[in-house]
Structure 1
Amino acid sequence: MKKSELIVLLNEKAEQYNRTDFIETDPIQIPHRFSKKEDIEIAGFLTSVIAWGQRKTIINNALKLMELMDNAPHDFILNFKEKDLARFQGFVHRTFNYDDLLAFLNALQRIYRSEGGLENAIAESFKVDLQNPGTGWNTFKTNFFSGPHLVRSKKHLPDPLKGSAAKRMNMYLRWMIRSDEKGVDFGIWKTMSPAQLYLPLDVHTSRVARKLKLLSRKQDDWKAVVELTEKLRKLDPEDPVKYDFALFGLGAFEKY
C-alpha cells in the first residue's frame, strides 16, 4: 500500500471509530459517568488497571468498584478510613484481588492528599528522562508502591524497562490527555501533550499494524510500541495516537 493510500485509510478509520457511540461499548464509559476532573481521572485509572479480559466483565467490575466507592471516587479516596475498606472484601477481577485493591486505594489516597493527584504524580514521573518515556512508568510505579503493599500487587502496573508494552496505562493517558471535538477522550490533563503519547498496543492494533507494514517487530513489547508510535508520528506529529481508533477498529470490529 502506498503511503498516500495508508494515510487516507487510517484517517478514514480514525474518523469512523472516534465517535461517541464508541463509548457505550468500551471501558471508557466508566469515567464518562462523571463530570468532576478528579472523579474522571480516578475512575479512569482504576478502570484501566483492570482493563484486560472480556469487555463486559471489565465494565461490570469497574461499575462495581464505583458503587463501592459511593459513586464519588475522589471524595472516597480523600476520606476513607481503614474501617471503610471492609466493603471491598471479595472483590476480584481475574488476578486483581482484594489485597491488590487495598494497595491501590492507599496509594491513591497518599497521592491525592500529598502529591497533588494523579496528573501531577504522573507528569512529574515522566520528567525524569524525556528521552526514554518508558522510564516514566518505571518511576511512577516505584513512587506508587512506596507504601505498604504485597509484592504480587506490583504486577498490576507496567514496567516498560522490563519490556512491558504498558497497554492499559498508555490507554489511560490517551483518555486523559487527547482532546478533540469528538467527545470520546477527555483532554483534561494539560501538563502533557498528545504529541507525547504512545500507542496502547494490543493483539488487534499490533496485528493490523504488521499487515499495514507499520510494525516489523514480532513481539508485542515496549520496543514494538516505540517503533509503531514513531511511524504514526510521521503521519501526525501532533496527535499520533488518534490512529489507535483506526487500528483497533480495523482489528476488533472488521477483523482486518
Structure 2
Amino acid sequence: MEAHVRKLLDEKYHFFNHPRFIEHDPIQIPHLFSRKQDIEIMGFWVAILAWGQRKTIISKASELINFMDGSPYDFILNHHPSDLKRFESFKHRTFNSTDALYFIRFFQQHYQGNESLETAFSFRYNAEEKTVEQAINRFYQYFFNDEFAPKRTEKHVASPDKKSACKRINMFLRWMVRNDQAGVDFGIWNNIKTHQLVCPLDVHALRTAESLQLIQPGPTNWKKALELTENLRELDPEDPVKYDFALYGMGIEEKTIWK
C-alpha cells in the first residue's frame, strides 16, 4: 500500500473517531442509553434503518423510542398487546409496521432467554473463523427461525449467503465489538473479536476505497467487503475496521459542517 494512502487513512481515522462524530450520526441513538440491552436494541434497530438521510434516520429511531416509552428493553419484555397498536403508523422507506412488530417479537423471545443480543451472533462461535461471515449467516437463520416471521421482513436483514455486503449488520457489529476508548463505538461485546469484523461498505466508503485503489471497481457485495477488509489488514491486522471511520468520513466530508 502506498505510504501516502497509509498516512491519509491514519489521519482521517483519528479525526473522525472522535465524540464529535456522534452528534451528526445515527450512532447518537444508542448513545442515549447506558443499559447494555437498550444500547443493543436501539443500536441494531437504527443500523437496520440506516439508509437515506441521516436526519430522517435519527428522527425515525427517535419515534421508535417514543413508542417504547423511552425504555426499549423494559418495553420489549413487559409490554401489553394493546401497546403494539402505536406501531401501526410506523414507516421508514420500505420498513413498515409489519417489520417493526416482528422485530419486537424477535427481541422479546430472545431476551426472555438471554442477557445480551451478542448470543444471537456468537452461538456456535468459532474463534478460528477469520471473519464474522458465518456468525452473520447463523444470526440470519436464528432471526427468522419463527413460523410467524413475515417474508417481507427478510429483505431488511442481510446475510453473506445472499451475497449482500451486509453494510448495516457490519456497522452494528463494529459498534458493539470495537473498544478503543475513543467514545464512539461501544465495545460492550466480548466473544466476537475485533480482527474478525468486516468493513461496512456503503456508497461513501466504496467511492473512497476505489479512489484510493484499496479495491477494484465492481459490484457492492460480500466479496467486495472482504476484499476491502483484507487490504485494510495491511494497516492494522488486529483492527482493520477502524478505517471505516476514515473511508466513510472522507466520503461525506464535503457535506459536513464539523471539520
> Smaller-chain TM-score range?
over 0.9
- 1:126/1:133 contact within 8 Å kept: no
* TM-score w.r.t. length of structure 2: 0.93
Q: Counterpart of 2:58 in structure 1: which amino acid?
A: I
Give the structure 2 partner of residue 190 of structure 1: 190
Aligned-residue sequence identity (percent) comes to: 49
Give the structure 2 partner of residue 34 of structure 1: 33
- 1:119/1:189 contact within 8 Å kept: yes
Q: Please give the alpha-carbon distance, in whole angstroms, between the structure 1 residues aligned to 2:121 and 2:190.
A: 12
Give the structure 1 partner of residue 136 of structure 2: 137
Q: Counterpart of 1:50 in structure 2: which amino acid?
A: L
- 1:217/1:224 contact within 8 Å kept: no
Q: Which runs of 5+ in 1 are unaligned?
A: none
- Cα RMSD, aligned residues only: 1.7
Map Cα deviations across residues 175-221 of structure 1 (whole Å, 9 max, x no partner).
11111121011111111111111111011111111111110141110
- 1:88/1:98 contact within 8 Å kept: yes
- 1:125/1:140 contact within 8 Å kept: no
Q: Please give the alpha-carbon distance, in whole angstroms, between the structure 2 residues aligned to 1:4 and 1:13.
A: 14
Cα offset, 1:132, TM superposition: 6.2
Change in Cα spacing, 1:128 to 1:96, as seen in structure 2 (3 Å) is farther
Cα offset, 1:94, TM superposition: 0.5
Q: Please give the alpha-carbon distance, in whole angstroms, between the structure 2 residues aligned to 1:241 and 1:140.
A: 20
Q: Counterpart of 1:36 in structure 2: which amino acid?
A: R
Cα offset, 1:116, TM superposition: 3.8
Q: Does 1:159 align with 2:159?
A: yes
Give the structure 2 partner of residue 110 of structure 1: 109
Cα offset, 1:157, TM superposition: 0.3
* Partner SS state of residue 117, structure 1: coil
Give the structure 2 partner of residue 179 of structure 1: 179
Q: Give matches, 1:10-89, under 5 Å.
A: 10-89=9-88
Q: Please give the alpha-carbon distance, in whole angstroms, between the structure 1 residues aligned to 2:90 and 2:250.
A: 34
* Partner SS state of residue 234, structure 1: coil
Q: Please give the alpha-carbon distance, in whole angstroms, between the structure 2 residues aligned to 1:216 and 1:114.
A: 44
Change in Cα spacing, 1:154 to 1:190, as seen in structure 2 (3 Å) is same
Map Cα deviations across residues 10-68 of structure 1 (whole Å, 9 max, x no partner).
00000111111110110000000001111111110111111111111100000000111
Cα offset, 1:7, TM superposition: 1.1
Q: Does 1:207 align with 2:207?
A: yes
Q: Which moved more, 1:74-83 or 1:185-194?
A: 74-83
Cα offset, 1:145, TM superposition: 1.3
Cα offset, 1:128, TM superposition: 10
Cα offset, 1:160, TM superposition: 1.2
Q: How many residues align?
A: 254
Give the structure 2 partner of residue 123 of structure 1: 122
Q: Please give the alpha-carbon distance, in whole angstroms, between the structure 2 residues aligned to 1:167 and 1:106.
A: 24
Q: Please give the alpha-carbon distance, in whole angstroms, between the structure 2 residues aligned to 1:254 and 1:198.
A: 26
Change in Cα spacing, 1:125 to 1:96, as seen in structure 2 (3 Å) is farther
Q: Counterpart of 2:14 in structure 1: which amino acid?
A: E
Change in Cα spacing, 1:128 to 1:98, as seen in structure 2 (3 Å) is farther
Q: Please give the alpha-carbon distance, in whole angstroms, between the structure 1 residues aligned to 2:9 and 2:131.
A: 27
Q: Please give the alpha-carbon distance, in whole angstroms, between the structure 1 residues aligned to 2:37 and 2:131.
A: 28
* TM-score w.r.t. length of structure 1: 0.94
Q: Please give the alpha-carbon distance, in whole angstroms, between the structure 2 residues aligned to 1:70 and 1:41.
A: 17
Q: Which moved more, 1:212-221 or 1:93-102?
A: 212-221
- 1:126/1:137 contact within 8 Å kept: no
Q: Which runs of 5+ in 2 are unaligned?
A: none
Q: Counterpart of 2:206 in structure 1: which amino acid?
A: S
Give the structure 2 partner of residue 225 of structure 1: 225
Q: Counterpart of 1:112 in structure 2: which amino acid?
A: Y
Q: Which moved more, 1:221-230 or 1:147-156?
A: 147-156
Q: Which moved more, 1:172-181 or 1:222-231?
A: 172-181
